[in-house]
Structure 1
Amino acid sequence: MCPGKRMDQPSPDVLHYKDKQLVSSLHLQLNLLRKEGVLTDVVLCSEDTELPCHRNVLAASSPYFHAMFCSTFQESSQPRVVLKGISAEALRAVLDYVYTGAVSITAELVLPLMQTSSMLQYGRLFEACSTFLQTQLGVENCLGMMRLAEALHCASLRERACEVAARCFPALTASDDFPGLSLAELTDMLGDDRLCAGEEQVFETMLTWIQHDLLGRRGSLHDLFRRLRLRHIHPTYLFQFVASHPLVQASPPCAELIEAVQRLLFSMDAAPCPGAMEEAWDSPRRDSCREALVLVGGRKNGRQTSRETLLYDSASEQWQGLAKLPVRLYRASCAYVQGVLYVLGGLVVSAASNKTGTPTDAVYTLSLKTNQWRAGEPMLAPHYAHQSVSSLHFLFTLGGVTPDGQLSGAVERYNTMFSQWEGMAPMPNPVLHPAVAAHDQRIYVFGGEDAEQNPVRMIQVYHMVRNLWCKIETRMVKNVCAPAAVIEDKIYIVGGYTRRMIAYDTKANRFVKCQNMKDRRMHHSATVINNKLYVTGGRYITNQDVIEDSDGFDCYDPTSDTWSSKGKLPHRLFDHCSVPLICVSSKFLT
């Protein structure tokens, strides 16, 4: 019996053996044969250089050489093949790559190597050259790289160069190469969803490019103008600077687009128009925009009314402070329109008392560009504990409490373009602490409580264009001190002395049950950024029915119907405001 073999162990019928060392050393041995000129059967010639090779190796490595040597082409039997338009150094590098699988790509070699690998159909080597060039990309050479990529038909390099150009657009427009862009190049760039620039800057850039060669380029305005996201230009700038520019006025297609935008804005119709208007009435450049969450005011650590303004950058997941409110405001409301944060009304509280306050009609605005608070146009009347929402360039304030302590159903609308307030149709049933959200030209007011603090089981819907209210009785609504937030066509009502969250489907006119929160929450805020719902602070009821202040920071993902913790707020906070900001670029977002 053979040692090490048991009698009861069956003998295999087949032994599958793989010599990994042979496979790994085969290329090395072939390369040695090539360098020694052994069994080589063809010489590749470039410039004054002759490089002996093996036809079978070349044919196996490239479709180009396979077609050359495995067909009736005359090169299939010629001992010498001259490759025109290829540098000797690049050809030598390609052959080293073919026989060893390795090559050293340098700045001096990359372009001829890329051209050679493209011609000889070595796709992976071609992409390796593209990868090297991508590492060298910067604002100073991205335009040249875009043109090189076009000439070489290199999609990966072109995509990366376009991305750099979009991200560095402000610096790129100041470069010496920018005026020399072709119309097609500039049109593609301005249409890029990743363009890191405000639409006002896009407009000014296209004017600068046209004025560099006014006679030759003025006819290109309409093609460029269609790349503007007109909906996201502030109306004041749109009508005072864009619409009044002589080039725009001299172009009938551009003037028609401006008129269409004007009709939509003044009719408050948020739906896009068909035809040419559809492109101009587009979403923001989402890939270059950054969404941030801002918290304003509230009661800090259960004691003091806060003046703080906190910004949360969802990309870095960091909190940072912005300029403080000029005064301490309690139960004010907030809204965001065209890059400006509005804080409206509330109770002005002194640092000394911090218990009582004076109702105010004051409005304060904050721009991230300046990080400074300014006084805005006051509301028509003082009120606090009211709600505010925005639509296009309009702000709406609803309800709240009047200076004499009465529950108010008043609705005021503010036109940010003309800085004018006007009274609108009042709510049918004044309520306190409802959940309020704006969607599709309508404002939805869910629940709340009446003057006797009884829950109101009703949805009140305001049609912005018609200035009319309607009411929907429903047993599904019983929320007090609960915020609402919109994601697509659903309005989420979050908590309100309960863990429950429900979503109202505005299209189907029905409620959908969502995953509960972990705590019974009230006096908190809910804001949507990046299509996720963020709930901040508030107060919660413990298992022992004790009310505690919260520094919680939780996130709800509607795609998975799940909650997750995002850590904690810088401090405990309730009765605060929260709004989403969409920033093209800001020193506060890094």
Structure 2
Amino acid sequence: MLKPKNTVSSERKQRPYVACLEFGNTGGKNQFHLSKLSRGQLCDTVIRVDGGEFYVHKVVLCKCSPYFRALFSHWSTPDCVTFDIPGMSTSLMCLIIEFAYTGNVLLTGQNALDLFVVADRYNMTGLLQACSDYLEKQLNPQNCLSIWLLTDTFYHPELREKSELYTLSHFKEVVDTCADFLQLSAQQLVQIIESDLLIVKQEKTVYKAILKWLAHAPKERKTYSSLLFSKVSIRLAWMSPKYLIEHVNESELVKTNPECRAMLFQTLNPILDHMSRTSHRSFACPSLAIPRVPPALLLAIGGWTDGSPTSLIEAYDARSDRWIDVAYTTETIRAYHGAVFYNGSIYCVGGFDSIEQFSAVHRLDLTSHNWEEVSPMHVSRCFVSVTVMNDYIYALGGYNGQERLNTAERYDPKCNQWTIISSMHEQRSDASCATLYSRVYICGGFNGIQCLSTAECYNPDEDQWTLIPNMSSRRSGVGVAAYANYIFAVGGFDGVSRLNTTEAYNPSTNAWCSVPSMPNARSNFGISVMNDNLFVAGGFGGITTIPNVEFYDIKTNIWLSAKDMKTSRSALSCCVVNGLSNMAKYAAALNSMQRQHLPTEEEDEMEQ
């Protein structure tokens, strides 16, 4: 079975040492010296720490730390050779000196935080950055708050931002498993729960977190009840009426606090009035349902539905598990096309409108919402495979209306030009491709005679394709994505039936391994990676198109169901949109377009 790949190395990089430290004992005193420098004969100073002595060179320590430069040149006389450093352990000083001489240090979960503090104290920017990079890679729900709180005292904006975003992205896990959550101050908790970037599937998760924090020290924290409740009251309408009545209304927090009760009824009364007057579950009240900003959106673009291609675009917000129609449809109805997100724009490449195969490429600017046609490809391509690598958009294989293609080309958005690159080993239409480690991988497809199990890799530096080991199954209409340092090949058609099987290629071992199968067999579906999960959407199930959406989580090694698309379709293309400067406007647009949906009792029970 596929196991998550450890992305953090605990081993020291192999590189030559300028000097190496040895431990010795002289006259009953702990003493450290540099064995490759004649055992201290060329050293010009001694650092004393907690009973230990380090023979070192002033110039080396001065180079990596302004503190030592000031200590040796301004805070002491020229003839001073011994310096006492208070509040420092010998083990930490050993690592500091090692970094000063080699530019390298072995960081572990036990020493990284202490070294970060010491590096900040002595203004060792290189070591501080190394510790920050290490801590960023080690972020998890149990330590993200301690790292975030550390940056309150020791200024490092980059690490602070990363640890805060991690907390916001894993809020429920943090509340459930992190001991530091209960030690937050009220102001720190407010900063987290009022953030528009907080990711929760249900707003009641935030409400429960507040109750948990208050219950930890009820007498001392009672005074913060109104403040904290006010931060969730502006989003109470995202909770179901049933939950508001049976849980929020009946809680001690609301019963004993008139201010909280007033805030609740400000939301609940309009909802109950609306429900008494209509059976519709769409509730328009933006002030009571302020949306959080999704960190990313999954777009499902075009495809084949009800016997014809469509121009429809739907957007999926994993935070709220909802699909909505996007107002700006594709410039041309199309299916069996490719779509990618690059530099704030969506590029729709090739495809088929049930009459002709396209060479045309259209770009949607997600800031202005305007479509424009850019330079066309050299040949028409439907059933095309498309990916982005190193600022180029690649279009591989496909069908031009007469034959399956092995040709490939790439587009440079900066100069609006397509360039032919080396042809693939196989003719491939209905394949799929992805980018990993500055290589393009394409898998499966149909060559006009049979479905393919072959796969190959493109090296742009050499303009060369190389065959890699075959997949275990023939797969046409396959979904391919780079995920967790693997190339995933999902579903497809083997010439007999639609598949739900999944396998993953490891470039490090040059081998495929098995992955749990999807719940639903499908071909010609959309596939993308969002929020550290692998999503598949729609497709053809063997009898009809399907709206089903599922995602695979490599950490749990299981597939889970997400909300179905509103429109059942196959031959669509999916891509993930993120990093937009106007994402907050998209959140507001999503809210206004879908209007507030009041969850049914069944949905509320599912949430429970």
TM-score (norm 2): 0.48
Q: Of the two structures, which has the highest relative contact order with CA contacts closer than 8 Å and spacing of 6 or more?
A: 2
Tell me the TM-score normalized by structure 1: 0.49
- Greater Cα radius of gyration, structure 1 or 2: 1
